[in-house]
Structure 1
Amino acid sequence: MEYNNNLNRTLAKLQSFPAFIRGFMRDFAIGRFVKFVGTAGIHFEKMTCNEVAVTLPNRNKVQNHIGQIHAAATTLLAETASGMVVGMNIPDDKLPLMKNLSVKFIKRSQGQQRAVAILTDEQIKQIRETDKGEVNVTVKVTDETEEEVVITEMIWAWILKKK
């Protein structure tokens, strides 16, 4: 993995922890930085420059009135996966910004949900090498039956940070 930014460097430091605690420490570190993610209890299953996979258990604190994961929590899960895959690639001198978020609910979910966000090599190159731009991040959200529960469009932009 290329350590091109603070997120990559922080995750690399966690590799020195014993394997049994690494996932907890990753979830804890990201949850402290992005507090809403920590509050919801999102688990970071996989984090690479090309793919981020996150899961959200169906627990009381994220449920709606019928005992399923709330629509806002599903949206948070998809947004988190897409934002983190952009975050794995964006240089420290750039600021990521959500430009458009669209979520179409297509099926009632059952149990835990999983979101997987993917960037192509071309998209990664664009994020790393251009000062300003935008990218449409592919995100697939499934439930415990492994069926897709929403169709998403997540467009992330970036700009140079002001000095």
Structure 2
Amino acid sequence: MSAPLLKLYQRMQRWPAGNWLFARAVCFKAPYFASIAPRITLLEAARCEGRIAHRRRVRNHIGTVHAIALCNLAELTAGLMVDASLPSGMRWIPKGMEVKYLAKAIGTQHAVATPAQPIVSADAGYALPVNVQIRDTAGTAVFEARIDMWVSPVKR
């Protein structure tokens, strides 16, 4: 059975501006992500892709996309991927993030989030590492993150 978030994304893909509408809905639910004006370009089980445009709101004093904007994009895509991939009766929460800044982030940034191991249903909680890589429009990797999620059964 497909996760409710994934069903919503798939339903919105049929509409013009469906990616924009989906991102707006996500930012309404989690308003701190609105500061980066994200677009989710792909959401499926075990994969989420999103992007942010290089604009003033995400630019730092040296003209590159600032570190926290990249971290927000990484956390957003990782969280959406996990939420869309979880079996029924499971929940998640981020527990930590390790990041590497690889190059100057200039231009539109494109993130890809994938799990480092299969996402499964379990009777007890478990750690789920999620890998996120962000590339610029030229395809250069500018940022990598490993986000540790805690996946556990919903308490009844």
Say whether the fold is shared (TM-score over 0.5).
yes
Taking the TM superposition and a 5 Å limit, the aligned residue runs for 1:36-47 are 36-47=32-43
Task: Please say if residues 6 and 92 of structure 1, whose CA atoms lie closer than 8 Å, have aligned partners that are also in contact.
Answer: no
Match status 1:102 vs 2:101: no
Task: Please say if residues 6 and 43 of structure 2, whose CA atoms lie closer than 8 Å, have aligned partners that are also in contact.
Answer: no
Partners in 2 of 1:60 and 1:143 — Cα distance? 17
Task: Please say if residues 110 and 145 of structure 1, whose CA atoms lie closer than 8 Å, have aligned partners that are also in contact.
Answer: no
Q: Deviations over 1:46-67 (max 9, x none)?
A: 1111211100111111111112
Q: 1:90 aligns with which of 72, 75, 86?
A: 86
Partners in 1 of 2:140 and 2:55 — Cα distance? 19
Match status 1:116 vs 2:116: no
Task: Please say if residues 50 and 118 of structure 1, whose CA atoms lie closer than 8 Å, have aligned partners that are also in contact.
Answer: yes
Taking the TM superposition and a 5 Å limit, the aligned residue runs for 1:13-24 are 13-15=11-13, 17-18=14-15, 20-24=16-20
Partners in 2 of 1:87 and 1:49 — Cα distance? 9
Change (3 A) 1:130 1:114: same
Report the equivalent of 1:10. Answer: 8
Report the equivalent of 2:44. Answer: 48
Task: Please say if residues 36 and 57 of structure 2, whose CA atoms lie closer than 8 Å, have aligned partners that are also in contact.
Answer: yes
**Unaligned regions of 5+ residues in structure 2, if any?**
none
**Runs of 4 or more consecutive aligned structure 1 residues displaced over 6 Å after TM superposition:** none
What's the C-alpha RMSD, in Å, of the aligned pairs?
1.8
Partners in 2 of 1:157 and 1:44 — Cα distance? 23
Q: State the aligned residue count.
A: 155
Offset at 1:92?
5.2
The TM-score normalised by the length of structure 1 is: 0.85
**Unaligned regions of 5+ residues in structure 1, if any?**
none
User: What letter corresponds to residue 105 of structure 1 in structure 2?
Assistant: Y
Partners in 1 of 2:38 and 2:24 — Cα distance? 10
Report the equivalent of 2:134. Answer: 141
The TM-score normalised by the length of structure 2 is: 0.88
